[in-house]
Chains A and B, each alone.
Chain A
Amino acid sequence: MTTTAASRVVQVSSEMDIVRVRQAAREAAVEAGFSLVEQTKLVTAASELARNTLVHGGGGQVSTELTVQQGRTVIRMVFTDSGPGIADVDQALADGFSTRGGMGLGLGGAKRLVDHFAIETGPDRGTVVTISSAARRGRRR
């Protein structure tokens, strides 16, 4: 059974908005009963992807929603931009590849930090990245 509990959308158009995305991720993680490590992983992944949305996508939006699947609370975050898109996804996901002088770990690193990672993109199609994570040990407070 899947029930959607709450959804929150943050518009990303400046560096301040990345902070708001992180806060949204942190709040959702606390509500879902994530452990401190799980919280930090989700917040860090959200931070990386929101920065990609801003820097590479030229801004966009991030939606965060909590759903309950088979008694487990799952957090799903969708990062949408209508920027130039990514021509070679495999290359973008490879560690050390960067077009803007970063460490080249953001996209691949974010993928490693979450349970599920999906990316929909192509040249001039914009980019939609969807991540989801669930608490390991049931619901805790």
Chain B
Amino acid sequence: MIIAAHGEAGARLRDFLDRRRDDIIGSWVETGFFGEAAGDAAADVRADCENVLTALSHVVETGNLHDPAAEPFQEIRALLGGLAAQQARQGNTAAQITANLTWLKEPVLRLWLDEQPEGQQRTEDVLALSAALDTLRLVVMETAVTEGADIIAHQQQQLAEMSTPIIKLWKGVLAVPLIGTLDSMRSQAATESLLQAIVDQQAQVAILDITGVPAVDTMVAQHLLKTAMAARLMGAECIISGIRPQIAQTMVQLGIDLGEVATRASLSDALAYALNRVGLSVTPAQRG
């Protein structure tokens, strides 16, 4: 059922919301939805309440009760987004946040019912008020969900940008700790920075450590091989370390052959091998 609150009814409701402004804001502050109203924050909380109430009274006046995209709601979107984000940080889901908004509805409807004489008009008006407040919930729900989607998009970007560090273990010895899922974009970036580091540091040996890679499928293996080949073309030898027993078994059954690329179970074995390649050996210190 669509309730129209044009003209007379709209003006009546708007007048009510403006007249009882202080009562409504008082009860809203008490609900805690707008945050803790203690100390310095009290003024902010009151201001937030006032903004939401102003938007609500514009909406009932124009009669655009069912449209979450209505202009007055658009104006408080940022404010609602902030409130939703605050609640989300407290561990509330989008559904809980929206449920909490019922706290705002009850006091408004109660005030209205208390002051109006019984009759058809009172029922119609209370339905209109209720519809406007429900639409407000929808707007909050929408902003809460968008907020989540924004965070996810942002994190995805951060993850992609997180470059694999190239670590210098010794003069001429580099290590690349590969971690997590190697999709084509991340592995390409890791290869490029390794090859650049080989040039910059005149490295002779590069260790690709896959301790942090959960599974090695043919795409990952092919990527490792291509990186090793490119490094070899530049005069550096690649060692693949961090091959755990389950990875080794799986690679054998897949049929992956790493060919001439040296492999080691742990990074320390790989380092010992690398030092040997650059003509160094580690001996216990002479203690006197």
Contacts and interface: CB of A to CB of B under 8 A. Distances in A.
Interface string B37-81: 000000000000000000000000000000000000000000000
Contacts of B255: 95, 105, 108-109, 112
A51 interface: yes
Closest 8 CB pairs of A and B: A109-B254, A40-B246, A47-B217, A37-B246, A103-B218, A105-B255, A43-B215, A112-B253
Interface in B202-222: 214-219, 221-222
Given A37-B249, A40-B247, A105 B215 contact: no
B222 A103 contact: yes
A19 B215 contact: no
9 contacts: A16-B183, A40-B214, A47-B217, A48-B217, A48-B254, A103-B222, A105-B255, A109-B254, A113-B253
A15 B254 contact: no
Given A15-B183, A22-B215, A105-B255, A44 B250 contact: yes
Main secondary structure, interface of A, reads helix
A22 B182 CA distance: 13
Nearest to B249: A37
Q: Among the interface residues B183, B184, B255, which one has the most CB atoms of the partner chain A within 10 A?
A: B255
B219 A102 contact: yes
A109 B253 contact: yes
A105 B256 contact: yes
B234 to A, nearest CB: 22
A102 B218 contact: yes
A19 B218 CA distance: 15
Interface of B: 181, 183-184, 214-219, 221-222, 245-247, 249-250, 253-256
A118 interface: no
A41 interface: yes
A39 interface: yes
A103 B258 CA distance: 11
A114 B255 CA distance: 14
Given A15-B184, A103-B222, A40 B215 contact: yes
Contact of B254 (A16, A22, A113): A113
Nearest to A114: B253
A95 B256 CA distance: 10
A105 B250 contact: no
A47 B183 CA distance: 12
A132 to B, nearest CB: 16
B250 A19 contact: no
A44 B220 CA distance: 11
A131 to B, nearest CB: 13
